[in-house]
Amino acid sequence: MGMTITEKILAAHTGKKGVSAGDLIMSKVDIALGNDITAPLSIEEFKKVKAKKVFDKEKIVLVPDHFAPNKDIKSAQQVRILKNFAKQYKITNYFEMGRMGIEHALLPEEGLVLPGDVIIGADSHTCTYGALGAFSTGVGSTDLAATMVTGEIWFKVPESMKFIFYGKLKRWVTGKDLILYTIGKIGVDGALYKAMEFTGEIIDNLPMDGRFTMANMAIEAGAKSGIINPDDITMEYVEGRAKRKFKIYTSDKDAQYSDVFEFNAKDIEPQVAFPHLPSNTKPISKAGNVKIDQVVIGSCTNGRISDLREAASVLKGKKVHKDVRMIVIPATQRIYKMAIDEGLIGIFIDAEAVVSTPTCGPCLGGHMGVLSEGERAISTTNRNFVGRMGHPKSEVYLSNPAIAAASGILGKICSPDEIK
């Protein structure tokens, strides 16, 4: 019997010839990641066990990005804990403001996460790196602490689900729409503790940025991970970035899946997730007349350069509606500079949007775009739970960057095709 890409990667990291869904294993880890919210707890636990050193100073990555730039004294203290720990244990990959970015955009860009890796992070959207053909998943802060000491972590090998996308994408449909459509079909627990494997001719032709978006939101269906078999598009992205050697794994043709779904692109319009679940999706043609107060374009889901280009193509020569705030956040410093060099930042500012240095801020209602009571935002982020972006009586709608930009112009949720 064949194995899935997930099973092959986990088998390789346990030193076994094969593993099967349901097996309990101890796996070696290639990267262990923490941020300014989760890593301080891990560091506290690390100190409790009186560890003398980390398992590998090259394989631990610390990125203060959630409340950065530091929004208050408490957040400044959190970052200080990371910085001191990185200095004490000579952590190579510590990224602070000016050299940082939103972690799940930064690590692939820096070539730190690679095909065939096992990656854990004390952040639920660590599943992003499955786009490269890695097994990557979020863990708790205590699990991160143990991994920083031992370099290993236990898993139950997840069952895999296969999602096959075929046909031709409609205009304005992106990776964000494919994953929102999928979550809408299976629900927020439809892939509970499973690996979501995305494949088919649509995925074969999807750029890396779209693949990152899809893997990023696997957790919103309850998945343990999202993953895509590496191909020429993957290799083109990785070559020139990779900081170390890596190995490619792909699923066998006779691999076993718990479920197989097939989706025809002709059925998929740009999607909008209505409050208060990512699964509460509607096609843009059925969105109705929903007025908005704020637009957020950015995050680990949709803050990459292609996302900014898409938004700028809609906004060029237009103005943000007088009743709307628009916040644009490039996901990394490199993306920010590319957006400047390409004239995208000028387009955003001319449209009367606000452009921020990289931060997760508004996505989690932390800062840089908190909503007040009764306000509505359309956002390219990944979650729209009650109170996610501020007041419990505010609302968050999720979309791709083009829909978000167009909505900012008209002051209501709409398609770019409605802009005259």
**In this predicted structure, what is the pLDDT of residue 141?**
95
**In this predicted structure, what is the pLDDT of residue 389?**
93
Q: Does domain 272-413 have CATH number 3.30.499.10?
A: yes
Q: Tokens standing for 275?
A: 């409050």
Of the pLDDT bands very low, low, confident and very high (cuts 50, 70, 90), residue 407 is very high
Phi and psi for 292 in degrees, rounded to 5? -125, 160
Residue listed under structure tokens 């203060």: 64
Instruction: Give the helix, strand, coil percentages of the chain, each rounded to 5.
Output: 35, 20, 45
**In this predicted structure, what is the pLDDT of residue 73?**
95
- In the chain, which residues fall in CATH 3.30.499.10? 5-262, 272-413
Does residue 225 contact residue 9 with C-beta atoms inside 8 Å? no
Q: What is the pLDDT of residues 22-68, one digit of tens each?
A: 999 999 999 999 999 999 999 999 999 999 999 999 999 999 999 98
Does residue 145 contact residue 54 with C-beta atoms inside 8 Å? no
Distance (Å, rounded) from C-alpha 108 to C-alpha 334?
12
Distance (Å, rounded) from C-alpha 367 to C-alpha 390?
9
Q: What is the mean pLDDT of the chain?
A: 96
- Between the alpha carbon of residue 299 and those of residues 110, 179, 181, the distances in Å are 17, 16, 19
- Rounded mean pLDDT of 311-326? 97
Give which of 120, 264, 302, 272 is closest to 183, Cα–Cα.
Answer: 272
- Rounded mean pLDDT of 232-237? 97
Q: Which helix H or strand E contains 296, and what residues bound it?
A: strand 294-297
The CATH H-level superfamily of 5-262 is: Aconitase, domain 3 (3.30.499.10)
Q: What is the pLDDT of residues 70-123, one digit of tens each?
A: 999 999 999 999 999 999 999 999 998 888 899 999 999 999 999 999 999 999
Q: Specify whether the backbone of 187 is left (phi greater than 0), alpha (psi in -120 to 50) or beta.
A: left
Distance (Å, rounded) from C-alpha 410 to C-alpha 413?
8
User: Which residues have a Cβ under 8 Å from the Cβ of 186 and sit 6 or more positions away?
Assistant: 221, 261, 279
Q: What is the pLDDT of residues 179-221, one digit of tens each?
A: 999 999 999 999 999 999 999 999 999 999 999 999 999 999 9
- Rounded mean pLDDT of 10-20? 94
Does residue 122 contact residue 33 with C-beta atoms inside 8 Å? yes
- Between the alpha carbon of residue 62 and those of residues 51, 107, 216, 223, 292, the distances in Å are 18, 10, 19, 24, 35
Beta carbons within 10 angstroms of residue 283's beta carbon: 17
- Rounded mean pLDDT of 280-307? 97
Residue 420 has pLDDT above 80, yes or no: no
**In this predicted structure, what is the pLDDT of residue 129?**
98
Q: What is the pLDDT of residues 251-264, one digit of tens each?
A: 999 999 999 999 99
**In this predicted structure, what is the pLDDT of residue 1?**
79
**In this predicted structure, what is the pLDDT of residue 223?**
97
**In this predicted structure, what is the pLDDT of residue 98?**
86
